[in-house]
A and B are shown apart, each in its own frame.
Chain A
Amino acid sequence: MAYYDTTSGTATWQTWTSPVFYYRDCSSAWPEWTAGATSATTGNGTWQVWASDTTTVTVSVDTTWGTWASDDEFVEISRIGGQLPRSQTHAELEAERKRRKEAEKKAEEAVAAQEQAEKKAKDLLEDLIGEDQLKVYEQTGRLLVHGRKYDYLLTKSGDVRRFEKDKVVDLCIHLVDKFKMPETDNVISLKLLAEANEEGFNKLANTIRSGSAEELPEAACA
């Protein structure tokens, strides 16, 4: 069904596009409506241009609007040629608004669940390293782990650096589903493996590069 509005001029255009504005970039609404047209003007002046300078549409601004918003499926606009599809009906816009709102709600719930999972992971890490060490981890995003042979620096973002006697080695090693897991669970897993099975840890890890501490930039393991 049509969405009637009896205002005219710039206000009409803004009123007409405002429901669309919530769901789409306003500037994209006009090209969509006028798809196939040979020319069009965008912006607030659109309505005036649309309603004037026409040889075949002789109606006034208000009646032009009424024609546009009538139940016809198409409104013929001779000035720019071709037939323009009507915009979405009010009911369609409302349905789209509901869909978007539900999607936003789901996204918010996903973020909250992710934060909750990360909090649980930090609680577990605290059991392993104690309150003081956890504070350092939270402040720096780094955890120093002592293996039987080497020391390792693990970061929350997933970087791993091994410290040897005269060089440092950047490694790539992580949980299989790293990106689905809380970041701190990745740190916990690597810490446990490096401490309990250092040989196995180093066999699994791929070496990205090695050199002196001064030579290597920040570690990076995707």
Chain B
Amino acid sequence: MGELSILGTKGDTKVIWDPENEDEVEAAEEQFDTLIDKGFLAFEVKKAGRKGKQIKEFDPDAGKIIMTPAVKGG
């Protein structure tokens, strides 16, 4: 199962998909693309202690993805 955690004002919202279910993958990808267009950053993350990587395209086999609002310098 894939999991997309989207950070927001009320904590993260999760979108879960089965990589073998086309409809679920499509819905998750659509959500991903919408947020990227809004300036969100996406990170494919691994288990505790392992560094993740920044991604710009949805990968249904990524496992876990965290999307954060844009970051800026103060």
* Contact of B74 (CB < 8 Å), options: A119, A193, A195, A221: A221
Cβ contact within 8 Å between B74 and A175: no
Cβ contact within 8 Å between B66 and A192: yes
- B47 → chain A closest CB, angstroms: 8
Within 1-16 of B, Cβ neighbours of A (below 8 Å) are at 5, 7-12
Cβ contact within 8 Å between B71 and A193: yes
Q: Is A204 an interface residue (CB 8 A)?
A: yes
> A133 to chain B: which residues have CB within 8 Å?
48
Q: Is A189 an interface residue (CB 8 A)?
A: yes
Cβ contact within 8 Å between B73 and A172: yes
Cβ contact within 8 Å between A192 and B68: yes
* Contact of B48 (CB < 8 Å), options: A128, A174, A190: A128
- A139 → chain B closest CB, angstroms: 18
Q: How large is the interface on B (under 10, 10 to 19, 20 to 34, 35 or more residues)?
A: 20 to 34
Cβ contact within 8 Å between A172 and B12: no
> B71 to chain A: which residues have CB within 8 Å?
173-176, 189-190, 193, 201, 204
Cβ contact within 8 Å between A185 and B45: no
User: How far does the alpha carbon of A165 sit from the alpha carbon of B36 in the complex, in Å?
Assistant: 35
> A221 to chain B: which residues have CB within 8 Å?
74
Q: Is A177 an interface residue (CB 8 A)?
A: yes
A121-B11, A175-B68, A204-B73 provided; 15 other pairs, C-beta below 8 A?
A: A120-B10, A124-B11, A127-B45, A171-B73, A173-B74, A174-B71, A176-B69, A176-B70, A185-B7, A188-B7, A192-B41, A192-B68, A196-B54, A201-B71, A221-B74
Q: Which B residues lie at the A interface, using CB under 8 A?
A: 5, 7-12, 39, 41, 43, 45, 48-49, 51-54, 64, 66, 68-74
